[in-house]
Amino acid sequence: MPCGRITGTGSGLPERVMTNADMEKLVDTSDQWIRERTGITQRHIASDEETTSSLAETAARNALSAAGLEPGDLDMIVMGTTTPDQLFPNAAVLLQSRLGIGGIPAFTLEAACTSFLYALSVADKFIRCGEARRILVVGAEKLSPLVDWTDRSTCVLFGDGAGAVVLEADDEPGVIATRLHADGQYRDLLYFPAGVGRNFPRVSDSRIQMKGNEVFRVAVKSLGEASRAILEDQGIGRDDIDWFIPHQANVRIIHATARKLDMPAERIVISVDQHGNTSAASIPLALDLAVRDGRIQRGQLLLMTSFGAGFTWGAALVRM
C-alpha cells in the first residue's frame, strides 16, 4: 500500500516584520518580557493585500518547486486554516484558482493550530486508499486582524504566514502514522467570540480571547501525551527521532514538552522566535526552515506534535 511522502516544502511570509521593539510602542511590554516568557523576538504581519490564500500561494509554489513539480501535476489540495479569506468559496479553492488548476478536489479543514496535522493526516489517507497520488497540503493563517492590539497578553504572541508540503505516493513511508484528538470541553479557554451563528454582526469588532496560563498547562500535557502515544504505538524509541517539530506557540511550552519526552534540545526545531505563533502554519514553516538550512535530511525521522483551540491536538511520525 502506498503512503504519502513529503517531496517538497515551502514557506510564504508577509513582507512586514514586527519586532519586540515595535510591540513596546503599542502596549506596556518589553523585549525582555516577551523573549523570556515566550521566546519570540519578531513576527511577520500581513498587509491588507496579503491574505491567507496569497501567503498560501507563495508557500505552495515554493513547495512545488522544491518537489520539481508544476501546479498541474497535483491531484488534490488539502488546506488547514482558521482564517480563510472569506467564508466561501473555501480557502483551498481560492488557492487552487491562484495556482490556475481547476477540476481537482480542494477543501479546507479547521482545527485551529492543529489544522496542519489534521490536513496531513487526511491527505495521507487519500494516498493510502489510492484516490490521489500528489497532494498539496497547506497550513496558512492571517491571524493579525483577529488580534486585540491593545491586549499585551495576546498581541505579542501571534504572527501571519503559510507553510506547505507536497505529499506524493510512495511505497516507502513517508507518513508513518498520525494521531488526532479533540476535546470541546475546553472551548472557553481559547476562542474567537464571533462567527455566523454567534455575534454575527460584530465579527469585525471581535478579538481572540485566551486564558494563557490554563492553555499552557493543558498544552504541555497534551503535546507530551500525544507524542509518547504515537511513539509507543509504532514501537519507535525517542532515540530514533532525528527532529522534534512541535507547534510553535511558546518556547517554554516546547522545552517543557521536550523535557517530558526526554528529547535533547539540539534535536528540536524552533522557529517561534522568528514567526511567533502562526497557528496552522507553524509546523510546516518550522519544517521548511530546517529543510532549507540543511538540518533535516532525506531519510530522517520526524516527530511533529500540535495543540490548539478546542482543544485540538495530535502528533505525526514522518520519514523524510
Residues belonging to the active site:
113, 247, 277
216 binds ligand UT7 per the rule CB under 6 A: yes
Shortest distance, position 18 Cβ to ligand UT7, whole Å: 13
- Window of 48-56, 57-65, 174-182, 249-257 that interacts with ligand UT7 by CB under 6 A: 249-257
Shortest distance, position 13 Cβ to ligand UT7, whole Å: 18
Binding mask 96-135 for ligand UT7 (x = CB under 6 A): -----------------x----------------------
Instruction: Rule CB under 6 A: choose which of 153, 206, 209, 300 binds ligand UT7.
Output: 153
Q: What is the CA radius of gyration of the chain?
A: 18
Shortest distance, position 148 Cβ to ligand UT7, whole Å: 12
Contacts of 73 (CB under 8 A, 6+ apart): 64, 134
Torsion of CA 293, 295, 299, 305, to 10 degrees: -100
Rounded CA-CA distance 167/316 in Å is 14
Rounded CA-CA distance 201/222 in Å is 35
- Window of 8-16, 53-61, 81-89, 245-253 that interacts with ligand UT7 by CB under 6 A: 245-253
Minimum CB distance to ligand UT7 smaller for 107 or for 191: 191
219 binds ligand UT7 per the rule CB under 6 A: yes
φ, ψ (nearest 5 deg) of residue 163: -135, 150
Instruction: Rule CB under 6 A: choose which of 38, 42, 96, 312 binds ligand UT7.
Output: 38
Cell of 276: 511567533
Shortest distance, position 156 Cβ to ligand UT7, whole Å: 4
Instruction: Rule CB under 6 A: choose which of 308, 313, 318, 320 binds ligand UT7.
Output: 308
What is the dihedral sign for C-alpha 168, 135, 74, 291?
negative
Q: Which of 96-100's residues contact partners 24+ apart within 8 Å by CB, and which partners?
A: 98/53, 98/54, 98/56, 98/57, 99/57, 99/60, 99/61, 99/71, 99/74, 100/71
Nearest to 260 by CA among 290, 296, 217: 217
Rounded CA-CA distance 161/80 in Å is 12
Q: Tell me, what amino acid is at 176?
A: I
213 binds ligand UT7 per the rule CB under 6 A: yes
Q: What is the largest CA-CA distance in the chain?
A: 56
Instruction: Rule CB under 6 A: choose which of 9, 83, 144, 250 binds ligand UT7.
Output: 250
Instruction: Rule CB under 6 A: choose which of 128, 152, 228, 255 binds ligand UT7.
Output: 152
Cell of 108: 479546507
Shortest distance, position 298 Cβ to ligand UT7, whole Å: 30
- Window of 29-37, 49-57, 70-78, 129-137 that interacts with ligand UT7 by CB under 6 A: 29-37
Residue-level length of the chain: 320
174 binds ligand UT7 per the rule CB under 6 A: no
Summarize as ranges the residues that interact with ligand UT7 (CB under 6 A): 29, 33-34, 37-38, 113, 152-153, 156, 212-213, 215-216, 219, 249-250, 253, 277, 307-308
